[in-house]
Amino acid sequence: MAPQPLKGVRVLELARVLAGPWSGQLLADLGADVVKVERAGVGDDTRQWGPPFLTGADGGDLGAAYYHATNRGKRSIAVNFEDAEGQALVRRLAAHADVVIENFKVGGLVKYGLDHASLRADHPALIWCSITGFGQNGPYAPRPGYDFMIQGLGGVMSLTGDPQGEPVKAGIAIADLFTGMYATVAILAALQGRRDSGVGCHIDMALLDTQVAVLSNQAMNYLVSGENPQRVGNAHVNVAPYQVFPAQDGHFIIASGTDPQFAHICDVLGLSELAQDPRYRHNADRIRHREELAALLAARTATFARDDILARLTAAGVPVGPINRLNDVFADPQVIHRGLRMDLPHPGVAGGSVPGVRSPIVMDGEPVVARRASPELGADGDDVRADPNWGGTAG
C-alpha cells in the first residue's frame, strides 16, 4: 500500500491544462481526495490535445495521452458553470474542501460568484490557490499566459539553443510544471500553517514569477556581473568540460564538475598532460579556454565507440551518460528497477490498464503515488454528489 500522508485532505480542482492539474495530481499521489470539476460536455482542454489518444475497450478514444499524464488519482465531476445549479454545487463542494486550486483568468470566477473572496468569506479555513500567467496584480495580470510565451518572456529561451541558431524552448512545459510544483509546496505549507491558526489563505501563483525564480545560477550570474549570459548550446556556462562529445557511433555526455574528475578524463583519453596545463588546470581556466579544450577532447573521444568510452569514464569515476530516446529511457535497467513506469487498472481501456509515470517520491521504501487511473469526464458525478465528506447524503 502506497503511503498516504495527505489522507483526509479534500482538494477541489477547478483547473485545466497543466500547472493546476499537475499540482492536483501530486496532492492525489500524496493521498488527498481530489475532485476535478470539469465543464460539462467539454472537460479539460487537454482531453483533446492529441494524438495520441488512449484507446477504449470499445475501440473509441478515452482522451489524449496529455490528459492522462496529469490527472491520475482524481475523481471527475461535470458541471455547467453558467447555471445556478452548477454554481450551487461548486459552492457546496468548496464549503467542504480544505483546498481549492483554480486557474481562471484574474476575476474570471467573480461572475459566477465562485471567486476566492466570496467563498472564503464564509469559509475562512479554506486554502485557495490561484494559478495564472502573471499573478493577481500588475500590468500584465489580465493577460492569458501560456508556457511557451512565458519561457520567452521569463528569459530561459535566451539561455537555450545553439549560439549560432535561434533561441529554443525546453521540450517540456517547464514553466507550467515548476509552477505546479511550487503551488504544491505552498499548499502544503498553508495546510501546516492552518493547524496553528485555523485560518486558510489565498495563494497567488504566476507562471512568469516561477520562470524567473528558476533561472537560478543564470540569474545570479547576471545580477552579480551585470552581463547577459550567452547561449552555449549543450555546454555549461559555469563548468567545463560539461557538454556533449562525439564518439565513433553517436554522442554522449561528460558532466565533469571538479578538477580531479577532469584529470581522470585526461588519463582515460591519453591526454594526461592537459590536466597540468595552466590553461586547463582549474575550472575557471577551463571556462576561459572552453572552445579549444572542447576541440582537443572531442578529437580524442571521437576515436572510441560510445559504449566503450562510457564504460572507461564510468570506471574512472567521471559522471557520464548516453543521450537516450524515450524507448531507451523506459528500457534502462535503473528506470525499470525503480518502477518508474506504472500501469493502472482501468476496465474501459483496451488492454485493461493506463500506462503512466509514477511520482518520483519514495517514503520508507514505498513509492508515493495514486493507484487510480485518470477519470473519464464526469465519471464520478453521482459518487461525489452523494459523498458525505463533500456535503452529500449517501444512501
Report the catalytic residues: 176
Side-chain half-sphere exposure of 357, counting CA atoms within 13 A: 10
SS3 content of the chain, % helix, strand, coil (to 5): 40, 20, 45
CA distances from 4 to 13, 30, 363 (A): 19, 5, 10
C-alpha triplet 138, 144, 146: angle, nearest 5°? 115
DSSP code, position 349: B
Q: Collapsing DSSP states into helix, strand and coil, what is residue 272?
A: helix
Residues ≥6 apart with Cβ < 8 Å to 95: 119, 122, 123, 391
CA distances from 383 to 166, 172, 218, 289, 338 (A): 51, 35, 49, 65, 34
Nearest to 74 by CA among 85, 86, 63, 87: 63
Q: What residue ranges in the chain does DSSP mark as E strands? A: 10-14, 33-39, 53-55, 61-64, 74-79, 99-102, 127-132, 202-206, 242-247, 250-255, 320-322, 341-345, 353-357, 362-363, 366-367
What is the largest distance, in Å, between two alpha-carbon atoms of the chain?
A: 80
Q: Quick one: cell of 107?
A: 476575476
